[in-house]
Structures are given as C-alpha cells and as structure tokens.
A = this chain, B = another copy of it.
Amino acid sequence: MEFSDRQKLIIEIVKAHEPITGDNIAAKLNLTKPTLRNDLSLLTMTGVLDARPKVGYIYSGQTIEPLLFEKLYTKKVDDIMIPAVFIKQDTSLKNAITDLFMYDVGSLYVVNKDKKLVGILSRKDLLRSVLANNEDDIPVAVVMSRMPNVITITPEETILTAGNTLMQHQVDSLPVVEKGTNDKIIGKITKTRIMNHFIEEGIKVKAQ
C-alpha cells in the first residue's frame, strides 16, 4: 500500500496543526470536506490519524509500513558494509588468532603484496587447523580458504541478495569487492552486520 500525494499532505497538515478538524484540513487544501472523505477515512482506518469527536484529527505517530520492505531488503550492500581486517599470507597461525581478538572480528582477509584478496581465514578454519595439530607458527596461507573458492559480493547488490548468499553458502562473511573484479576488496558484510541491520530497523519502527 502506498499513500497518495494528497494523503501524505494531509498527514503533514495534521502533524503541524493537530488537533485540526476536517473542515480546516479541507480549507488548507482549498478543497471541500466531501472531497477529502475517502482520504480521511483511509488515514483513520489505517491508524495513521486518530479522529476525536468534537476535537478533530490527531497524528497517531504510527509507521507507514509500506516502506519497511525497502528499508530492510532493497537497500544496497554499500549502505551497510563494514571495514575488513587484512593479514598477509605469511602471518603465523598464532598471530592470526591474536588478530581475531585484537580486532574482535570473526574472519580475516588474506591479501597479497598488491593488496588483492587471496583467501579468507575464519574462526572455523583456525579451529580446524588446531584439531589437525598444526604448529602455531605455520603461515595462514596453509590453512585459509583460498580463492577462487571464496564467495564475494559487490556493493550494488541488495541486502536480501547478500543475506541469501551467506545463507546458501553457509559462510559467516562475504568480502565486498569492486564490481567487475573479484579480488579488489572495499569492505565486508557479515551475518552479524545483517542481523544487526534488521534489529536496528525493527527497533526504530517500534519506537515510532
């Protein structure tokens, strides 16, 4: 459902002048009250306006829900991506684990000398390596998930696509790479970031 321009105008008028009678709203719009009947009735029935007998219309402060889907899902990866933490291929396992704690992240992006993405190191990769009794001074290049087996995404994609990709591939993090490349990293998107996005928007709607 989408409100018409006139309905949006009525909402603005009520917000500015509440309580205001239907006659006064009509006067401000240079229209007659019967012309507005359908609009006022829709706005009241949807709960956006409250009609108080002998007082007038009051803005209920309720959300205009139709925008919710857009805010949640069709926003771009670009709008919510976060910075990535990089390490070199010859970083030791032990230093990589230390970095995970230092930067409080779930994954590290491994880059070569040209700062191009060559692999990802997740908590799971590190634990797998511990289980394999690897010495803690071996380089991360030995245990990382290596390109081209790393799933990436571009900043133009929607949050819905990013979330679906994380879900389908069962990974915790996606490097965001420049469109047309698959190794020029400009950020990252994670399950945590996406969940936080949904929760933050939900809290905003609820507070309205």
Q: Report the minimum CB–CB distance from A72 to chain B (whole Å).
A: 7
Contact present for A160 and B206 (CB under 8 Å): yes
Measured in the bound complex, the distance between the Cα atoms of B45 and A41 in whole Å is 9
Q: Cβ of B73 and Cβ of A69 under 8 Å apart?
A: no
Task: Map CB proximity to B onto A124-156 as digits: 1 under 8 Å, 0 otherwise.
Answer: 101110110000100000000000000000000
Cα–Cα, bound, A42→B44 (Å):
10
* Number of residues of chain A lying within 8 A (CB) of chain B: 48
A192 to chain B: which residues have CB within 8 Å?
A: 172, 191
Among B41, B127, B136, B163, the residue within 8 A (CB) of A195 is B163
Stretch touching chain B among A21-29, A78-86, A110-118, A196-204: A196-204
A166 to B66, CA, bound (A): 27
Q: Is the CB of A203 within 8 A of B160?
A: yes
A-B contact pairs, 27 of them (CB 8 A): A1-B47, A2-B47, A42-B46, A45-B45, A45-B46, A46-B46, A65-B66, A65-B69, A68-B68, A68-B69, A69-B205, A97-B127, A97-B131, A100-B127, A101-B127, A126-B127, A126-B130, A127-B130, A130-B130, A160-B203, A163-B195, A166-B199, A167-B196, A191-B195, A194-B195, A195-B198, A198-B198
Q: Which residues of A contact B (CB under 8 A)?
A: 1-2, 38, 41-42, 45-48, 62-63, 65-66, 68-69, 72-73, 94, 97-98, 100-101, 123-124, 126-128, 130-131, 136, 160, 163-164, 166-167, 172, 191-192, 194-196, 198-200, 202-203, 205-206
